[in-house]
């Protein structure tokens, strides 16, 4: 099958001075070749930490994997040698970060930074690596790539800089690309252009793409499936159309209601009441219960398991079946 990457019941803790923060509490998701999974959640939901754990760049300490597996092409990466993991990084799985300016090195031109991977990992000469860097800039549609390859990160606009980051991440032709809030720092028009570019590259290369975002509106047009995270858990997973048509979790309903819509301009945006919980003290039962308009006594007592509701959807709410069967 085309199953490329599987996160299976992953658990991560941060041991801080204030106590143990349970940051990832049994996260399971996968991405196949040729599909786009959006991982959606507020900040602190664990979506970035999951990605950092996949990439092997979790801050250790204080971050510790306390359970689960991360399988790339069926093999558990957490059980691999550091050398094997390093090889997968870049060639198997690559990542685009939110803040291109701090991810790029200000003292080297972008051609050198893209070319570095060809030199270090492919043993190319400087001249060949630069040629390949120009091709990569062309690939991500940066005009005048031949000139711009010699320029430094600060000479690029935010959007162009994010394209450079994407070029860099694709240099070793990865099978899975993880993009963590790749457009958050950009204005709306540029956001859409970067999303279109990612979607196009994903299609052409038949990559598995994981888009991490707090903004459902940004990923709606490009995602095939959506996994919604809350307090270090997946609370709903569904095909994108199903999720929009009939969300099966009150948290997803809240997220959908808080998407700004053009035709409702000027209207007060609805937001989910309250704040995400402290991961040092996750609420009992359903971790969403203090904010949930549908909460019942059972929600305070019992953790709702992530239940499969159909072939392409699952929800972790005691009342999920009622939600999907409503008109």
The owner of tokens 């162009």 is 160
Among 304, 306, 309, 324, binds ligand SF4 (CB under 6 A): 304
295 binds, among ligand SF4, Mg ion, none (CB under 5 to 8 A by kind): ligand SF4
> 41 to 100, contacts with Mg ion by CB under 5 A?
48
For 262, other C-beta atoms within 10 Å of its C-beta total 5
Q: DSSP states of 142-169 as a string?
A: -TTHHHHTTS-GGGS-HHHHHHHHHHHH
Among 160, 177, 195, 317, binds ligand SF4 (CB under 6 A): 317
Residue 233 makes contact with ligand SF4 by CB under 6 A: no
Nearer to ligand SF4, 218 or 286 (CB): 286
Nearer to Mg ion, 48 or 109 (CB): 48
Binding window for Mg ion (CB under 5 A); candidates: 40-48, 100-108, 124-132, 183-191? 40-48
Residue 231 makes contact with ligand SF4 by CB under 6 A: no
72 binds, among ligand SF4, Mg ion, none (CB under 5 to 8 A by kind): none
Binding window for ligand SF4 (CB under 6 A); candidates: 30-38, 142-150, 253-261, 283-291? 283-291
Distance CA 40, CA 255 (A): 9
Site string for ligand SF4, 249-268 (x = CB under 6 A): xx------------------
Nearer to Mg ion, 95 or 114 (CB): 95
Q: DSSP states of 54-121 as a string?
A: HHT---TTTEEEEEEEEEETTEEGGGS-HHHHHHHHHHTEEEE-S-HHHHS-TTS-HHHHHHHHHHHH
- CA 162, distance to chain mean position in Å, is 15
Query: Are 59 and 25 spatial neighbours (Cβ–Cβ below 8 Å)?
Result: no
- Here the tokens at position 53 are 């754990």
């Amino acid at each position: 099958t085309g199953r490329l990457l599987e996160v299976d019941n992953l658990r991560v803790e941060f041991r801080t001075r204030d106590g143990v923060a349970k940051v990832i509490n049994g996260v399971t998701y996968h991405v196949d070749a040729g599909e786009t999974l959006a991982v959606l959640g507020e900040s602190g939901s664990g979506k970035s930490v999951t990605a950092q754990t996949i990439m092997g760049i979790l801050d250790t300490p204080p971050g510790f994997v306390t359970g689960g597996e991360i399988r790339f092409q069926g093999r558990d990466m957490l059980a691999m040698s550091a050398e094997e993991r390093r090889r997968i990084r870049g060639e198997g799985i690559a990542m685009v970060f939110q803040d291109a300016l701090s991810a790029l090195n200000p003292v080297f031109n972008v051609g050198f930074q893209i070319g570095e991977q060809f030199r270090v990992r492919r043993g190319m000469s400087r001249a060949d690596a630069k040629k390949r860097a120009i091709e990569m800039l062309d690939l991500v549609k940066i005009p005048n790539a031949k000139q711009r390859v010699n320029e430094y990160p600060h000479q690029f606009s935010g959007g162009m800089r994010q394209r450079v980051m994407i070029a860099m991440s694709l240099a070793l032709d990865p099978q899975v690309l993880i993009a963590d809030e790749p457009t958050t720092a950009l204005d709306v028009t540029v956001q859409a252009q970067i999303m279109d570019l990612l979607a196009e590259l994903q299609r052409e290369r038949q990559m598995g793409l994981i888009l991490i975002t707090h903004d459902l509106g940004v990923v709606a047009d490009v995602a095939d499936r959506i996994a919604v995270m809350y307090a270090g858990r997946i609370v709903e997973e569904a095909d994108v159309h199903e999720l929009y048509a009939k969300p099966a979790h009150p948290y997803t309903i809240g997220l959908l209601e808080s998407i700004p819509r053009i035709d409702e301009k000027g209207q007060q945006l609805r937001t989910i009441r309250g704040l995400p919980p402290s991961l040092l003290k996750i609420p009992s039962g359903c971790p969403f219960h203090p904010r949930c308009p549908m909460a019942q006594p059972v929600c305070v007592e019992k953790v709702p398991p992530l239940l499969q509701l159909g072939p392409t959807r699952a929800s972790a709410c005691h009342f999920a079946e009622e939600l999907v069967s409503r008109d």
